[in-house]
């Protein structure tokens, strides 16, 4: 049975949030992180911030691709 690594899980959640929330994906992940921190879950907070970072990184990469495509 395949068990994803933490990095793989972060990427999977990032892709899921982008598909579900589009432009609001990073904000949703940060809100989830903040809720977890307010409940004392610092580990969950860190993971969800990594998810938000992954979403933002993917957004930046897709913006670069779109700008190059527009020039062609």
pLDDT in tens, the chain (72 residues): 999 999 999 999 999 999 999 999 999 999 999 999 999 999 999 999 999 999 999 877 665 545 555 555
- Burial class for 14, CB neighbours closer than 10 Å (0-12, 13-18, 19+): buried
In this structure, what DSSP letter does residue 40 have?
T
User: Domain locations in the chain?
Assistant: 6-71
How many residues comprise the chain?
A: 72
Task: Give buried/exposed letters for 16-34 (b at 16+ CB in 10 A, else e).
Answer: ebbeeeeeebbebbbebbe
Residues 16 and 71: their CA atoms lie apart, in Å, by 29
pLDDT for residue 59: 78
Q: Which two tokens stand for residue 63?
A: 């913006």
């Amino acid at each position: 049975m395949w068990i994803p690594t933490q990095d793989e899980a972060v990427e999977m959640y990032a892709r899921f949030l982008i598909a579900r929330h589009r432009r609001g994906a990073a904000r949703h992940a940060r809100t989830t992180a903040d809720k977890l921190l307010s409940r004392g879950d610092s580990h969950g907070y860190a993971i969800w911030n990594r998810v938000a970072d992954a979403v933002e990184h993917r957004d930046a990469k897709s913006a670069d691709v779109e700008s190059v495509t527009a020039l062609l």
